[in-house]
Structures are given as structure tokens and as C-alpha cells.
Structure 1
Amino acid sequence: MDVRQLAAFRAVAQTRSITRAAAALGYSQSAVTTQIKGLESVVRARLFERRRDGVRLTASGERFLPYATRLLRLTEEARSAVAPEAVLGGTLTIGASESITTYRLPDVVRLFHAAHPKVRLSLHTFHEGPEAMVAALGRGDIDVALTHSIDPGPTGPATRRLATEELVLVATPDHALARRAAVTTEDLRSAPTLIVQSACVYDTILRTELTAVGPRVVPPLEFGTIEGVKIAALSGHGVALLPRVTVTGLLDTGALVQLPWAPAVTVASYVAWDEEQCDPAMLSAFEAVLDRVAAGWACSPACAEVGSLSA
């Protein structure tokens, strides 16, 4: 068993394709196939099965993946230990929620790349809730996760809370609720609401508030992405609960307005990682940049104190 075999195995497991794994590693497809066959011979188990839609891990492959990931990380740590002054290199794979990818990560990426130009950052956007990213960490698909969550946040891998961010309920200026002096949670039960998907943390928060007064009368409309929700809101299809950072420009121009809804709801941003998987030097460098940028993510102290769901 050697490092090239383990790297080929992990690449195929992550991409579910010999072709894509070969492209990512810079190998030929035949070389990747040879490495996988060699590894299967060493471990004396079949690790993949071929399907029409690609390759999939067998049960043995699923069990072996965490060990392969750990061995590869230990290899990188050993290399760093004997060359502590070496320039950081390699790939850091970051998973993030859509709002963080679009509105928070650009500054992180810019500063990190300026400080560590030899590190390749690979970004994966998740539209599901934080549980999907925690699962991706466990599989070794990503090295670091950045997500919005209701406190106490994701569990399992190591995590750290970064900031409290404000959510706002928005609609077009001519929406019936926009003309109210105050919007109650009861009002929202019969109002069309726009969501990313039911697993999204923003809809989870809205459902939590609505549950206190009764079930929704009108089922929410699901659009798959925050941008889709924003376009639907601009088209007058309903109201949406979103992070303020995602709609600041639209609020500034008056294309959308914040509805006078009483709860001051917030969401917490978290960074999570797998201690056995993430290279300590890479993680330390990333956290240094993240801390510098995340200081500006938090909403006002008043918002953080009043926030009813992530205090």
C-alpha cells in the first residue's frame, strides 16, 4: 500500500468517476485503474463497483475510506514536520452554504490566496442544511465546512462559532404585508412564503416561529437557491426570510423592503473541520484569515442580544 494508491482511491471515492479522478490527479485513466487494482490486492477486498452513472464504493470501500483519509493526512503532517519552514502547498477543499459562498467567502479567498499562493482552494456549495456538510466532512469530501446554523450548531467534528448574523423578512414594496404597521407571525401562516428548500436552516427557523401559532395555511414555494428565492420575491410571489447580507443591495435600492415582523431572528455562522483529516498547518493558516474577515460578519450588538433563536 502506497500513497499514490491511497490518493487514487480517495479521488475516485470523491468524484465517483475514474475519468474525473484521473483529471484531478493529473494521471491517465489506466494509471488510476492500476492504482485501485493494486490497492484492492493489498487490502484483499473489492473497493468499488461500476454502475451506469459512475463508480460507487462497496461496503468494504465505505469502511476503508476514513482510514485512507487518515493515512493521507498523516503523510502530509509527516512531510510538514520535517520541513516546517516549507511554503504551504496542496489543496484545501471548502464546503460552504450558498450565502457564505456568495457573500462571505470572496474576501476569505482573496486574502488566503495572497498569503498562500501555492495552495489551491476548491469550493463546494451546499444548498442543504448543516447536517449535509457534517456528513461530507465525515466522508472526507471536504476539509473545512462553513455553515449557518441554529445554535448549538453542528456536532461531530471540531467546530467553532464565528458570528451572529441577522435574518430579515422581505417582500416587494407593494406587498400587502408591507403596508402594515406591524406583521405578526399569525399573518405569515396564510402568506405565501419562499424558501430554498425544506432542509434549509432559514426555513427551519421560520417553521419554528410559525409552529408556536399553528401550521402554515399556504405551503411554501421552494426554489432551490437563494438567488432563485430573491428573484421570486422581486416578482411578487411572496415573502422570504434571508440573511441580511444577501439582500442588502435590494433593500438599499428599495426593490425589496424589510417587513415589520416582531421577532429579531438571527442565525449563527460556524466553521467545522475533522481533526484527523485536516492538515494542521493548512487549517491554522485558513483560520488566521477567517478570523480576520469574520470579525465583520456579526450583526449589531442589539441584534445579537435580542435574537430569539441563536442566543
Structure 2
Amino acid sequence: MDLLNLEIFQSVARNQSISGAAKELQYAQSNITTRIQQLEAEFETTLLYRHNRGVTLTDKGHTLLAYSERILSLIEEMNNEVTDSQTIKGKLNIGYIETTAAIRLPKLISKFHKSFPKVELALTSGVSEGNFNAVLQHELDGAFIADAIYHDDLIQTKFVDEELILITNTQVAQGITLDKLNNCTILVFHKGCAYRKKLEDFLHSQWIVPKKTMEFGSLDAIMGCVSAGLGVTMMPRSLVKRYILNGSDLQHIFPKFNVNVTTMFIHRKDKYISPALSKLLDMIKKGSSL
């Protein structure tokens, strides 16, 4: 078996498209297609469903992905153990949530890159639930999530504690009461976001049903619309302070209903901890000092 075929297969699975893998690996699409066809011929099975949006793994494809992760991890472990080089290198695929990227991640990544410039970091944005599933499915080496999500196959490392606060703009905040939230619009990320879940749980505990829920794909879009008076959201206090300093019209409402959340970093128990991942974990454990 050609191990390069497994690496290409992993890239196709990660990008969910032939073209995405070709771009990531800088190969011609025809080369990627040929390599996948070689794997399918070798195993005498279909590994991918092709459709207009890209590709989806078959059941056998998911099985191969799990085995390929183990095989390539063992090879990486072998190379690291046998070689005499002390240089920390390799590639890490890390998932993050936008709020972590906006507040904490830049310092961590900058410090890591300066310390280990030979490590290639690939960073992917997602909501907590999506990052959780991507780590479980071997699509990411590790990921940041908001709040602990327990699973027998995962190890969680605390990164930092955050305080979530309810915010709107100053005009909407004037005279606002809990019961008036029934007539408000809440602005949130897509389902699977831990902050959205915290906000929805709070509203449910107060018997509040907002008039409308608007979903956004980016942090700046949510904060910009809140600042413009479109509605209410729940975000980390440290993040809100930064937006206020940058001129956003935001106001903290209902201080006694603040919610605490811990940003965690997760990775699989059965995954080989490469020197690069080990160094990243060491820095994450010191997250509160970054």
C-alpha cells in the first residue's frame, strides 16, 4: 500500500472535496482522483459518495479513515522515536471557536510559532459541537471547545475560564426588563455553539421565549448587529470589553445573570501525542498566563 494514498484520502475526507484536497496538497485534481481510485480498487469497495457539493465518506470510508489515522500516527511516532533530531516539527490540525480566536488564541499561536517554527499549524474554525465531532472522527488532532463535553475517547485540558454576560446596545438597554426579552431578537451562532446553548438555557429558566432568533456565521457579524441595536446576545466579558474599546455601542444588562464557562482543549486518548502536540498542550495548560 502506498502511504501517500492514505494521506491524500485523509485530505479529501478533511476537506470533503477533491478540489479542496488538491488545493491543500498542491496536486492536480486528476492526481487526487487517481489516487482515490487506486485505494478503491485495492480494497474493492467504494470509499466516497460523489455529489454536487463535494464528497461524503461511505461506511467503509469512515473505517479506512480511522485506520489510516492510526497507521500514519504510528509512522510519525516511529520517525520521532528513531531519529536523532531534536527539532520539533510536523503538522497539527487544530480546531478553534471564534471567540477564543478573538481573545486568547493569537498570543498562544504566536508564542507557539516562535518557539517551534518547524511545526505547520492548520487552524479550522467551528462551533464547539462541530469541533468535538471532528476530533472524535480523527479529522482534527485537537480542538478548543466552550465548556466540558465528556466522552470516554477524549482527554480534556483546561485552557481558561470565561464569564459570559448578556449584552445589547445602549438604546435597547434603556428600561429593559426580563419580561421585555420576550419581544427581543437574540443573535447567536449556528446550533452546536456552547454560548448559544448557555443563552437559550438562561432564557428557558426565566420562562422567556424571544420573538426571533437570528443565526450568524461570524463573530463580527453578531457583535456589529448587537451594536446596531438589532437584539441581544451572550458573550465573554473580556471580548465585550475589547469591542467597547474599539468603539462598539454595547451595554451589559442583568449583571446578576452572568454565566461562567471554561474553554477546554480536547484530543483523542488513543492518538499518538507527537512532540509538537505535547508542546502545544504544555502551553495550553498555562493558558491563563498568556
Q: TM-score, normalised by structure 1?
A: 0.83
Q: Which runs of 5+ in 1 are unaligned?
A: 298-311
Counterpart of 2:218 in structure 1 is 225
Contact 1:159 1:270 in 2 (8 A): yes
CA–CA distance in structure 2, aligned partners of residues 282 and 110 of structure 1: 14
Partner of 1:264: 258
Contact 1:131 1:154 in 2 (8 A): no
Correspondence for 1:81: 81
When normalised by structure 2's length, the TM-score is 0.89
| Cα 1:18–1:223 shift into 2, 3 Å | closer
- The CA distance in 1 between the partners of 2:214 and 2:208, in whole Å, is 15
Offset, 1:32:
3.0
Q: Pick from 119, 135, 158: which aligns with 2:155?
A: 158
2:94–2:140 Cα contact (<8 Å) kept: yes
Tell me the residue number matched to 2:139.
141
**What SS does structure 2 have at the residue aligned with 1:262?**
helix
After superposition, give the CA deviation of every residue in 1:35-69 in whole Å (9 maximum; x if it has no partner). 32332233232212332332332221122211111
Q: How far has the Cα of 1:277 moved from its partner?
A: 3.5
Distance apart, 1:124 and its partner CA? 0.7
Q: How many residues align?
A: 288
After TM superposition, give the deviation of residue 164 of structure 1 in Å: 1.7
Shift in alpha-carbon separation, 1:25–1:249, aligned structure 2, 3 A: closer
User: What RMSD in Å do the two structures reach over aligned CA positions?
Assistant: 2.3
Where does structure 2 lack aligned partners over 5 or more consecutive residues?
Answer: none
**Equivalent residues of 1:178, 1:259 under 8 A apart:** no
Alignment equivalent of 2:167, drawn from 163, 167, 170: 170
CA displacement at 1:263 relative to structure 2: 1.8
Provide the secondary structure at the position in 2 that maps to 1:193. Answer: strand
Query: SS of the counterpart of 1:206?
Result: helix
Please give the secondary structure, in 2, of the residue aligned with 1:242: strand
Deviation at 1:169, TM superposition (A): 1.4
Evaluate the alpha carbon distance shift between residue 23 and residue 99 of structure 1 in structure 2; reply closer, same or farther with a 3 A threshold: same
How far residue 218 of structure 1 moved from its aligned partner, in angstroms, is 1.8
Change over 3 Å in CA distance of 1:42–1:223 after alignment to 2: closer
Q: Structure 1 residues 117 and 189, CA, compared in 2 at 3 Å: closer, same or farther?
A: same
Q: CA deviation at 1:154?
A: 4.3
Q: How much identity, in percent, do the aligned residues show?
A: 27
Counterpart amino acid of residue 257 in structure 1: Q
Partner of 2:105 in structure 1?
Answer: 105
Pick closer, same or farther for the CA change 1:42–1:250 going to 2, 3 Å: closer
